[in-house]
Amino acid sequence: MRPGRQASEGGVVNDDPIPGGTTVLHRTHPRRLALGLVLSLAVTAAACGDDDETSSDDTTPAATEVSAQACDDYVALGGAMTGDPSAAGGIIEAFEASAPEALADEAATVAATFAAMAEGGEPAFGDPGYQEASAAIADAYVDGCETSAELDVDGVDYGFEGLPEEVDAGRVAIRFTNATEHDEPHELVLFRRMDGVTESVEELLALPEEEAFSKVEMKGVVFADAPGSEATTMVDLEPGSYIALCFIPIGGGEDGPPHFTGGMVAEFDAV
């Protein structure tokens, strides 16, 4: 069962809240996902207006050539951020080492910010210099890495627009734009159902924590804080069934119902 109605652009929007009230994934969100949300900014945050500064492929920084190894390390960096950051040291070093020479300074800035988080420090994600560096990395790697699909997804109040029902399996780039009308942050947290899992989203959300997380695998996360802001992530998707959710509380507080209860949930298959 696919919750919601089809939007004209191919996304899924649901006007009816998902039943279940308090859910396991909402309860575990601060512990299991907050770190990934913060670090998704480190991978790919781009302030609104960046697209206006880059009007053609000719203005991609130094027409940067990105190696296959650099692409692999970039994806690995994003994947590492969904787990224990203290174990990401080697991945961070590999990302910086394989970055194109033209982006050496930007890669060093991103790597230093990641390393600060991995060591338990307070990373300067809000620093304009860091944001500029991470945006340049995201633009160059999406342009330079071979992908099976590039998706432009909007987070609206409340739904995802631009997620098709099917995508080609493989390396997928997701550009996520916060299209809120209520000055709220939005996120796209991506899960893959384990092979053989047939429960609907509603059924999965209602399960006890341990059982729920035995049936899904977190594959990635991308977060866009301010209205009009854009972020990008790149993930390797094997064939299977995927679920996108936004866990941020309605109204922007800490205790409100999550956005997915208002319809910010979508499913698609990678084939």
Mean pLDDT of the chain: 79
CATH number of the CATH domain containing 106: 2.60.40.420
Q: Which residue has the higher pLDDT, 47 or 71?
A: 71
Cβ(236)–Cβ(51) below 8 Å: no
Whether pTM exceeds 0.85: no
Domain count along the chain: 1
What integer pLDDT is reported at residue 114 of this predicted model?
83
pLDDT digits (tens, 9 = 90+) for 20-33: 333 334 334 433 34
Answer for the pair 264, 154: CB distance below 8 angstroms, yes or no: no
Q: Which residues of 57-71 are buried (b: 16+ CB within 10 A; e: fewer)?
A: eeebeeebebeeebb
pLDDT category of residue 262 using cuts at 50, 70 and 90: very high
**Separation CA 109–CA 42 (nearest Å):** 10
Q: Which residue, among 150, 205, 221, 159, has the nearest Cα to 184 in the 3D structure?
A: 159
The residue type found at 65 is E
pLDDT in tens, 137-181: 999 999 999 999 999 999 999 999 999 999 999 999 999 999 999
Alpha helices in the chain (DSSP H): 24-32, 34-44, 50-53, 68-80, 89-98, 104-118, 128-144, 201-205, 209-213
Give pLDDT tens digits for 205-254. Answer: 889 989 988 999 999 988 888 899 888 899 999 999 999 999 999 987 77
Distance CA 219, CA 234 (A): 10
Contact 8, 207 (CB under 8 A): no
Domain range for residue 32?
5-270
